[in-house]
Amino acid sequence: MKFPSSTGFALLGAALIAISYGLARFAFGLFVPPIRAELELAPDVIGIIGALPLISFVFATLVAPLSADRLGARNTALLSGVFGTVGLALISQAVGAVSLGVGVFACGICTGLMMPALTAAMQALVKRSLHGRVSSVMNAGTSIGVIISVPTILFLAGAWRYAYASFAVLAVAGVIATWFFIPSVSRVVPSNAAPPPPISALQWSRLLRLSMFAFLMGFVSAAYWIFAPDLVVNLGSLASDATGWLWLAVGIAGLGGAVVADLADRNNPPITQALMLMMLSASLALLAASPGNLAIAAFSALVFGLAYMSLTGLYLMTGIRFLPGRLSMGPVLPFMAVSLGQATGSPTVGWLVKEFGYSDAFAMFSAIGILVAMLSPLYPRYIEEEAPEAEMEEETGLQAAYNYQLLDEEGEPIGPAS
């Protein structure tokens, strides 16, 4: 069996992430208007259903590192693909809230298993000096998947069942590619690597603050991911196929998130988080203010996509830096917090929409986002203030975060060439 090169693996990983994150998870909001209309579901019910894949994502993420270690990268990725295929197929055949909920729940498991499986495979196939670059390409798969879902709503606006059936076919293709190109081994650790040190109280404190910010960002973003298309259709009276332009804008802008996250790592993460949270909040307010104007709605989607992907990238790098040598925990904790926030925010915004309407609900969530942005000076810093000046001029960016994950027997970082 011939395994792909670093470039080939990055592209394969991006494709699998596009299916598991873009299509199985984030495309759901795009089809809420026609699904609601056909299945006659109230906003609060949609809010609860929208939270299910986020809850299952958290459960799957908890067991994913153990699965990748025991079952291997290939089998874990295959398991993810099977859940994605079954979930997407169930959604395409949903006849009510229960069957729809089971389908999206299975899709959440697919999402939670895929990235840990790919990370385990990456450690086996890709040089450590390329881990940051490959991870950035794979993370971009989320935006690519969101973009891929756009033609389906443009050409199959009244046929969401066929759209999800086509997603299921793509998931099957992903399972086949996984079988042939993902290695069965799990993690590869250099023989001279020392076990990671115990997590200190300072690290736990910083992780708690990071997770709180990630949770609140996820809470605020849930309004857009689940109800933005529904808002422009029901409040702005736009056609259902017009909502595709929103997700196209989100996906395109999201591709720039890696650049912004890297700049934040080089400069000032708290200020960047404050700016991105303000942009996220502004996108909610802008959409609620002009839901009937497609150009303004699409611009709000551009702002949202850039802000959301930048923030998730920032949380990823911060989590990796906080826990050197613990790749199964560092990036996982903030992502779990984001999903828990979205799982909490989705039914909350659904209830607010039912009680107060779309405009007021989005305005409330926008206000919460602004308040969280004002607390950004509390965002944890990972460069020690007491460190010598020479140490403060260290490498930055996602690759640098990976480079110092392992220590040798003398306690010195194992360089990227090791």
Least confident of 13-27, 43-57, 369-383: 369-383
Q: Could you tell me the pLDDT band of residue 65, with boundaries at 50, 70 and 90?
A: confident
Same domain assignment for residues 105 and 244:
no
Least confident of 156-170, 213-227, 361-375, 383-397: 383-397
Residue type, 408: D
Distance CA 335, CA 55 (A): 12
Q: pTM for the full model? A: 0.83
pLDDT for 60: 92
Report pLDDT digits (tens) over 83-126: 999 999 999 999 999 999 999 999 999 999 998 888 888 877 88
Q: Average the pLDDT over 155-166 and give the result.
A: 84
- Residue 1 maps to a domain: yes
Q: Which is more confident, 415 or 214?
A: 214
Distance CA 132, CA 64 (A): 21
Same domain assignment for residues 170 and 23:
yes
**According to DSSP H, which parts of 183-236 are helical?**
201-234
Listing DSSP states for 336-381 in one string gives HHHHHHHHHHHHHHHHHHHHH-HHHHHHHHHHHHHHHHHTGGGSPP
Same domain assignment for residues 278 and 147:
no
Q: Which of 154, 188, 222 is the last residue of a domain?
A: 188
pLDDT for 409: 59
Q: Average the pLDDT over 180-201 and give the result.
A: 70
pLDDT for 382: 59
Q: In a 10 Å sphere around its CB, with 0-12 CB exposed, 13-18 middle and 19+ buried, how is residue 200 labelled? A: exposed
- Block residue for tokens 């019910």: 45
Tokens of 253: 């802008």
| CA distances (Å), origin 299, targets 129, 189, 247, 250 | 37, 45, 11, 9
Domain count, the chain: 2
Distance CA 31, CA 39 (A): 12
- Residue 389 maps to a domain: no
Q: Which is more confident, 130 or 217?
A: 217
- Residue 236 maps to a domain: yes
- Sorted by sequence, the CB contacts under 8 Å of residue 333 that are 6+ apart come out as 207, 210, 211, 319
Report pLDDT digits (tens) over 221-272: 999 999 998 899 888 888 877 888 888 899 888 887 767 766 766 668 888 8
Average pLDDT over all residues of the chain: 84
Do residues 316 and 335 touch, judged by C-beta distance below 8 A?
yes
Same domain assignment for residues 227 and 273:
yes
pLDDT for 334: 87
- Domain interval for residue 229: 199-381
Same domain assignment for residues 55 and 138:
yes
pLDDT for 157: 61
- Residue 238 maps to a domain: yes
Least confident of 130-144, 178-192, 197-211: 178-192
Same domain assignment for residues 249 and 318:
yes
- Residue 414 maps to a domain: no
- Residue 345 maps to a domain: yes
pLDDT for 396: 64
Least confident of 4-8, 59-63, 194-198, 275-279: 194-198
Q: Which of 360, 402, 338 has its CA nearest to residue 25? A: 338
Same domain assignment for residues 4 and 126:
yes
Q: Average the pLDDT over 388-410 and give the result.
A: 60
Q: Average the pLDDT over 375-380 and give the result.
A: 91
* pLDDT higher than threshold 70 for residue 192: no
Domain with residue 289: its CATH number is 1.20.1250.20
Distance CA 184, CA 192 (A): 23
Share of the chain above pLDDT 90, in %: 44
- Residue 55 maps to a domain: yes
pLDDT for 399: 72
Same domain assignment for residues 166 and 239:
no
Q: Which is more confident, 366 or 26?
A: 366
